[in-house]
Amino acid sequence: MSLPITMYGAADCDDTAALRQYFHQKGVTFREINIDDDPTAEQFVVFINAGFRSTPTLVLGSGKQKIILTEPTPQEFEGVLEHFQ
């Protein structure tokens, strides 16, 4: 199953860089949006994270049903993916 993944990150965020590297190593297809360059994306991240600019914020899925993960570790990400396979 191909699950659309969007990662909202920031240029100066070590967690974003680490998750990006993990995705590349594992061959995970994802779309990345840098909230430093996209004010609308930044507003979304702040809204979804109760006023915090927390990155990375992942959105898995599309349409009406999505899962949002804030600052997930690779293990947390894999645990969520297991439910889709």
8-49: pLDDT as tens digits = 999 999 999 999 999 999 999 999 999 999 999 999 999 999
82 vs 30: CA distance, rounded Å: 17
Q: What average pLDDT does range 65-82 have in this prediction?
A: 91
Sheet containing strand 57-62, strands side by side? 31-34, 5-9, 57-62, 65-70
CATH number assigned to the domain comprising residue 34: 3.40.30.10
- What pLDDT score was predicted for residue 62? 86
pTM for the predicted model, two decimal places? 0.92
Going by pLDDT thresholds of 50, 70 and 90, the confidence category of residue 85 is low
The tally of domains found in the chain comes to 1
Domain extent, residue 70, equals: 5-82
Residue 45 has which token pair? 């991240």
Q: Which of 14, 3, 1 is nearest to 63 (CA)?
A: 3
As a whole number of angstroms, the distance between CA 38 and CA 68 comes to 19
CA nearest neighbour of 69 among 81, 23, 21: 81
